Structure formats: C-alpha cells, structure tokens
Amino acid sequence: MRALVIVLGVAAAATATVARASSAPTVGAPLPIHASSLAQEGQDLVWQLTLEQPFSPGQLARDGRSLCLLIERARGGSVEGEACIEGPARHSSRPRIVYSRVSATSTAPGHVIDATIKRVSSSELTATFLPSAVGLGYAPLRWQAISTLRQSACAPPAMGSAGCFTLFPATPALLALHTPELVGCVAAGPSLVYQGSSHVREIALTFDDGPWYEPPPSAFLDVLEREHVPATFFEIGDNISKYDPTGAYEQRMLADGDMIGDHSWSHPDVAALPVSQQREQLLDAAAAIRRATGGFTPCLWRPPYGDISPSLVSLARSLGFLTIMWDVDPRDWALPGVGAIYENVVTHVHDGAIVIQHFGGGPRYETVQALPHEIETLRGEGYTFVTVAQLVGLRLIYK
C-alpha cells in the first residue's frame, strides 16, 4: 500500500530577491498558515499546507518552531497524534516526518516513519507514507494543521493571548475516509517480463491454473495470510465459474494484498490460435476475473505452457496486459515431491526472481505443503516477498 502524501507549499509571487529577504521567519510569531486541506485519493491521504512565507525544514527546530498535521478523533476532536516535519538526518539532504502519539497528559517520544519525501523547490515539500504509519485506518477522523513557536521565544499579539501557535482550520475538520477498492493496474515498461531487478532483494511467488478444488485456493491463502506474504495468482477464466462461482477466493486475494492475473479462458496454446481467438481468450478471462472480484481488471497475463510469439506479446500489450513469464520453475506440476519442490525453489531463487508454481490443474497438495518451508528459508536469507505488479513497479488503480 502506498500512503499518506503531504504537500507543503508557500504562496509564491515574489521575486528571488524578495524571497531571500523574507526567508527569515518573523521574530516572535509562529509561521503563518495561508491555507491547508486534507483529502483521500485512493489509498492515500493528501495534506496540503500553504504558508505565507518560505521555510526551511532544517531550521524549524533550531528556531524552536514546528509544522505538523494534528490527527484528531472524529468524536470530540481530541488529538491522537501529530506528524511533524523535521530536518534531514546526518549525511542526508531530505527532510523527515516524525510521528508522535498524543494523550491527554503527554506526547510520546516521536519516531521517524517510513516516508518518501521530495523537496520540489525551496517553497515546497512532499512526503508519502502509509496511513498505518501514523496510526490511521480507513475511518472518519478530524484534522488540523498547526504551526508553533516555543513559548520562551513567543511574543503574544495581545495581552493575555498565548499567541504561540496558529491552527488551520480554526476548528477541527472532518474527513470521512473509505476503504479503497483495488480496481486495476496500469501496464508499463517492457511488454515481456521474465524477472524483476537484480539489484533488489525481492522475489515474486506466482501460482497458475486455478481456481481448483484439490486443495481449494483457501489452502494456499491460509499459508500466505499466516506468513504475511503477498502472491500473484494467474487464473483460468472458465475455472472461476466452475470452482469459485461466487468469487469468494478472488475477493479474498485482493483483500489480502495479492494480485490476480489472466491465464486465458480455457488454457489452450494461445500462441497457436488465430488472432481473433487469442483476443477472446484474454478478454473473456479478464471479464471472468472482473465479475468474480466485483470490478478488478487485470493488467498481467501469463501464456499457458509459456508459449509466446512476438505478435501475441504485442496483442496482449495492446489490450492492456504485460506478458509475465518466470525464471524459477520447480516443475511442481509433475508432482516431484514436497522436498524436490522446496529444494528447486530455494536453490535457484535470486534477487528479482519470479517463481512459478501451481494452485490448479491437478492435485497440488505437494505445492501447498512446500510453500511454508520455502517462505521460511527465503525470508531467513533476507528476501522480501512482493507481487509481480510490485516487482516491476506498476501503478495500481483504486476507487
């Protein structure tokens, strides 16, 4: 999941000379907030904050200042936590986001969250992180942006006024979040893929030929859920209506963070078919997946038997699919035994590997029994498990 995107900007319309002259913050007052908003976009939250003068993240703490997003309870508006901009770490040039939980009596020590932060210009900053990193789920919340100045340096604007912070909006704003629904992905990069990057210690586990009944997909999903491992399932369209008419397994896959790919309608040698039938095989399977999931359209497909031609790869791309092959094959379809499947996978895996196994087309008890041992060994060797879409960096579409 991607996540919370913070965008900070400064009202601009001054010349460079004026900007330099005004870069020093006004003495004795918090940095004034011109405007702020918080909205959900797919999986993400977008916080926009516009100040009335330039700022430097690295200078905030030295000046006794802070710029934060207050996260507040939907009922009552009491603050649950704050996500604050902080200057770069040593030997880094990028600002950080520090999150602290807040109670009625204290603020817990903050921790730097996993965030991608970009400084677009001297007057803008963007940061991306998961809502869970700041204690959020997809439930209603209230929020405010706050700019503060430590009290010892603060000059109150009027007798009896604290004057050491400013809030925008003045009262907490309500944001009704909804659980994002994955509805597709965008094919990008090479049309024919055998593996991911050899410079990142990631691998993608993929399973073909389902859904099936011996064992049912739930046997595979139980293992993956228990181990917190995402996978990619390449499904045969005709099998969905036969073995999962309600789409329960497909919906569970997406809810788990798995990816579903197209494996043709009926598993023929698609490369040997006329173009019109090739098109039907891909589109009919995609339609079956869309019906089963309630709206997800795949952008990955895998040719049955691995049989391809340049024209088939080109046709698939024109229909919005990347053709996904593999480079680690334990030949589990031949039922070589649990030990043989395990040894083949863990011996041949490498950075960026795509592993092909099967969850249909025959009895796959050996495959599901080998799976937890594969995961344990590979995780112990430092591998991270990702979907094929993640492996090749595709953009996911949510609503």
Catalytic residue among 91, 111, 208, 373: 208
Pick the more confident residue, 76 or 67.
67
Whether 199 is catalytic: no
* Nearest Cα to Cα of residue 49 among 129, 144, 165, 128: 144
Three-state DSSP class for 381?
coil
Q: What is the pLDDT of residue 156?
A: 63
Q: Is the pLDDT of residue 22 over 50?
A: no
pLDDT of 139 over the 80 cut: yes
Confidence of residue 163 (pLDDT cuts 50, 70, 90): low
Which pLDDT belongs to residue 349? Answer: 98
Cα separation of 86 and 67, whole Å?
Answer: 9
Establish whether 350 is a catalytic residue. Answer: no
pLDDT of residue 325: 98
What are the tens digits of pLDDT across the range 319-333? 999 999 999 999 999
What are the residue boundaries of the structural domains of the chain, listed by start?
4-175, 182-398
Q: Note the pLDDT tens digit of each residue in 263-297.
A: 999 999 999 999 999 999 999 999 999 999 999 99
Whether the pLDDT of residue 228 is over 50: the answer is: yes
Q: What pLDDT score was predicted for residue 15?
A: 27
Contact 347, 217 (CB under 8 A): no
Give the residue among 292, 232, 306 at the shortest CA–CA distance from 264. Answer: 306
Q: Which residue from 3, 30, 57, 323 is spatially nearest to 164, judged by alpha carbons? A: 30
| 398 to 235, 248, 251, 395: CA distances (angstroms) | 21, 20, 15, 10
Containing 308, the helix (H) or strand (E) segment is: none
**Which residue(s) pair with 65 in the sheet?**
149
Collapsing DSSP to helix, strand or coil, 189 comes out as coil
pLDDT recorded at residue 121: 76
The whole-angstrom separation of Cα 76 and Cα 245 is: 45
Which is the catalytic residue, given 262, 263, 267, 358? 358
> How sure is the predictor about 222, in pLDDT bands with cuts at 50, 70 and 90?
very high
The 10s digit of each residue's pLDDT in 103-137 is 888 899 999 988 878 877 787 887 777 788 888 99
**CATH class for domain 182-398?**
alpha beta
Main-chain phi, psi angles of 365, to 5 degrees: -65, -35
Q: What are the φ/ψ torsions at residue 77 (nearest 5 degrees)?
A: 75, 10
- Other Cβ atoms less than 10 A from the Cβ of 350: the count is 12
Given a cut of 90, whether residue 210 has pLDDT beyond it is yes
Averaged over 375-379, what is the pLDDT?
97
Asked if pLDDT for residue 7 goes beyond 80, the answer is no
> Is pLDDT at 161 greater than 60 in this prediction?
no
